[in-house]
Amino acid sequence: MLHGNLPKRYVELPQICTGAKKIEAAIFRGEDFVAVKLSFRYTTATYGRKAGSLWEQLLVFPRGRRYFFASDRITSANDVERLILRIDMPGHLKHQKGDTFTKIYLSYEGEIPASDFVEDFPPDAKHFYHRNEEKIPSRFIRAYKIRGEDSPYLAGMTLNPASVYEAWCHQRGYVCFIQEIGGRKVSEGEVFAAAYIIGFFDSIQEMQEVYDKYRGWDAIEIVPRKGQKATFRWIRFPPGKQ
């Protein structure tokens, strides 16, 4: 019920959100944004692999927006056939029989009423996404509409849809929004990444318009400037290397 028929092997540990205890952080200030860069180097490896892959996350908070930019980046210490990074996007949804939201929107499936999440079901039973290289969706947006008059959507948008390997939206006491990026062969020293927009939007149309403005980017990079405020830039990787 919790994991479905989706066997996975951990490559390196710990799980950062529960086991890292402490991560490195740096703050950057620009003319119209503040950014936080987080990093952690994995300490344990499995199946005879090496520990030491580097996770880096960049969060960019632009002035005057109800959303922020983010990216995750892994530099692998190992050769792995299908390496993934598992994240929550836009974040798990707590509720009691749909009391906190009215519907969920998945760009690759459509709108789903809250009533579909009353009873628990495993991740691969429904609303499950597995990448088909021949049929990549034009957008990858996952959102839920907060219950209440004139309430907005909270959305998580992966800007290069080809970055996403698998994603599920299932009920396990809460709506679990697990998403996996990568899922391609990675050699020692190689990098894979994904970039996102996360925040509040009044409509699906607004999400789509913002998405299309930034569609296709794979990562974000801070550019420090000596004696001046920092800037940031968007990055694209070659196809198949997201």
**Domain spans in the chain, listed from the N-terminal domain onward:** 12-235
Polymer length of the chain: 242
Cα distance between residue 55 and residue 72, in whole Å:
7
**Domain covering 12-235 assigned CATH 2.70.98 in the classification:** yes
Mapped to the 3 state alphabet, what secondary structure does the chain carry?
Answer: CCCCCCCCCCCEECCHHHHCCCCEEEEEECCCEEEEEEEEECCEECCCCCCCCEEEEEEEEECCCCEEEEEEEEECCCCEEEEEEEEECCCCECCCCCCCEEEEEECCCEEEEHHHHCCCCCCCCCCCEECCCCCCCCCCEEEEEECCCCCCEEEEEECCHHHEEEECCEECCCEECEEEEEEEEECCCCEEEEEEEEEEECCHHHHHHHHHHHCCCCEEEEEEECCEEEEEEEECCCCCCC
Name the amino acid, one letter, at 78. N
Sheet containing 153-158: which strands, arranged edge to edge? 24-29, 33-41, 54-62, 67-75, 191-201, 153-158, 141-146, 101-106, 110-113
Reported as a pLDDT band with limits 50, 70 and 90, residue 238 is confident
Residue 178 identity (one-letter amino acid): I
Q: What is the pLDDT of residue 242?
A: 55
pLDDT at 226: 86
Question: How much is the average pLDDT of 215-221?
Answer: 97
Task: Say what percent of the chain tops pLDDT 70.
Answer: 98
- Chain mean pLDDT for the chain: 95
Give the model confidence (pLDDT) of 64-108 as tens digits: 999 999 999 999 999 999 999 999 999 999 999 999 999 999 999
pTM score, whole prediction: 0.95
pLDDT (0 to 100) of residue 237? 87
